[in-house]
Amino acid sequence: MKDKVVIVGQSIQIQKIMTLIDKLSRTDSTCLIMGESGTGKELVAKMIHLKSLRAEKPFIPVNCAAIPSELLESELFGHEKGAFTGAQAQRPGRFELANEGTIFLDEIGDMPLHLQVKILRVLQEKTFERIGGTKPIHVNVRIIAATNKDLENEVKEGRFREDLFWRLNVVPVVIPPLRERKEDIPLLCEYFIYKFSKKFGYSLKIKSEVMDVLLNYHWPGNVRELENLVERLYVLNDGGVVNVEDIPERIRLGENLLPKAISEDLNPFSAGIDLNEVLKDYEKKLILHALNLHGWIKSRAARYLNINRTTLIEKMKRLGIKDNENSD
């Protein structure tokens, strides 16, 4: 039986993506899904798979950013017994498990260069060897990749192979951030309320003034942030009615953490602007936002900001941001 996958939205952007999904599902073409964290890249990949002729075969997701680079090769291609210390038995990799189906390489922009070569070979020849093995393994697998990075820029900087980029980018799918399709927010709220009502046993009612607050917020965490908010409201709300004061202060105050219109930003500074102080304050807000969004796990916050973890730590020290007890 197929998993139920739902993409919620009535905006023009979502309608175009649904049309593209229908076209992609009729082929085996490789595609690259691009979008910010939390926009639903894996959901799109799963829907492409479930609408395709491979729907009854495995859909195997791999988060390339979440697996340490020294373990990622074994996860993808498997290993033979004795291939390295701790390899006590032969183990198939994700590509073998995905045979006849689809493998979803999420955050492929974080994949080390030496593994990018092997992915390119699988794309070209449909073969690979397990670590410690010499026998070529043939697979019939569709590759769908996703990234929140600008891969063309990564290619220019030498962090991503140009030949792999063009092999992956046969059909690009660009998912817009939630702030660019705010007309979908009421529909998404309805869907999440329906989803969590089955878990918690009651429904929530969102007042119109609350919806105004949600529509005015920037949603840096995109759809995932909205879903987390609705679940939080269920956990903390007993009356079934959501009031403005139930919404977190950062959302109520519209802390969008992006520059407002120039006229709004500059009018208060009638005596002039200390640009260094403004930029310093803005940088601090962005870093605090990233840390809060990722539970003060610095490695994840650094990936979100597209900087190294050590760079993040140095910036935190310079800006006077103290470590949270939950930070890594």
Give the position of tokens 């965490």: 221
Can you tell me the distance from the alpha carbon of 84 to that of 130, in angstroms, rounded to the nearest whole number? 12
For the residues 236-264, what does the mean pLDDT come to? Answer: 72
Q: Which pLDDT value is given to residue 57?
A: 97
Q: Which pLDDT value is given to residue 253?
A: 82
For residue 260, give the DSSP letter. -
What pTM was computed for the model?
0.75
Is the CB of residue 58 less than 8 Å from the CB of residue 102?
Answer: yes
Q: Which pLDDT value is given to residue 161?
A: 96
Q: Which pLDDT value is given to residue 327?
A: 52
Q: Which fold has domain 12-176?
A: Rossmann fold (3.40.50)
Q: Which CATH architecture has domain 179-256?
A: Orthogonal Bundle (1.10)
Taking residue 321's Cβ as centre, other Cβ atoms within 10 Å add up to 15
Angle at 183 between CA 181 and CA 184, to 5 degrees: 75
CATH of domain 264-328: 1.10.10.60
Q: Which pLDDT value is given to residue 72?
A: 94
pLDDT tens column, 164-203: 999 999 999 999 999 999 999 999 999 999 999 999 999 9
Can you tell me the distance from the alpha carbon of 76 to that of 95, in angstroms, rounded to the nearest whole number? 6
pLDDT(259) > 80: no
Report residue 239's pLDDT band, with 50, 70 and 90 as the boundaries.
confident
Select the more confidently predicted residue: 257 or 175.
Answer: 175
Q: Residue 32 corresponds to which tokens in the numbers above?
A: 């690259």
* Rounded alpha-carbon distances, angstroms, from residue 234 to 12, 203, 249: 30, 9, 17
Select the more confidently predicted residue: 217 or 254.
Answer: 217
Can you tell me the distance from the alpha carbon of 210 to that of 22, in angstroms, rounded to the nearest whole number? 35
pLDDT(100) > 90: yes
> Within 13 A of 117's CA, how many CA atoms are on the CB side?
3
Return the domain boundaries, the chain.
12-176, 179-256, 264-328
> At 44, which amino acid appears?
V
Report residue 267's pLDDT band, with 50, 70 and 90 as the boundaries.
very low
For the residues 251-260, what does the mean pLDDT come to? Answer: 61
Q: Residue 5 corresponds to which tokens in the numbers above?
A: 């996958």
Report residue 264's pLDDT band, with 50, 70 and 90 as the boundaries.
very low
Can you tell me the distance from the alpha carbon of 216 to that of 173, in angstroms, rounded to the nearest whole number? 27
* Cα–Cα nearest to 98, from 62, 145, 147, 136: 62
Q: What is the 3-state secondary structure (H, E, C) of 132-173?
A: CCCCCEECCCEEEEEECCCHHHHHHCCCCCHHHHHHHCCEEE
Report residue 282's pLDDT band, with 50, 70 and 90 as the boundaries.
confident
**Ramachandran region of residue 323, left (φ > 0), alpha (ψ -120 to 50) or beta?**
beta
Taking residue 77's Cβ as centre, other Cβ atoms within 10 Å add up to 23
Select the more confidently predicted residue: 95 or 305.
Answer: 95
pLDDT(231) > 60: yes
Diameter over CA atoms, the chain? 73
User: Which segment of 84-98, 111-125, 294-308 scores lowest on mean pLDDT?
Assistant: 294-308
Q: Which pLDDT value is given to residue 328?
A: 61
* Cα–Cα nearest to 146, from 98, 109, 180: 109
Q: How many residues does the chain have?
A: 328
> Torsion over CA of 296, 180, 252 and 278, rounded to 10 degrees?
70
Can you tell me the distance from the alpha carbon of 303 to that of 258, in angstroms, rounded to the nearest whole number? 18
User: Which segment of 165-174, 198-207, 254-263, 297-306 scores lowest on mean pLDDT?
Assistant: 254-263
Domains 12-176 and 179-256 share a fold: no
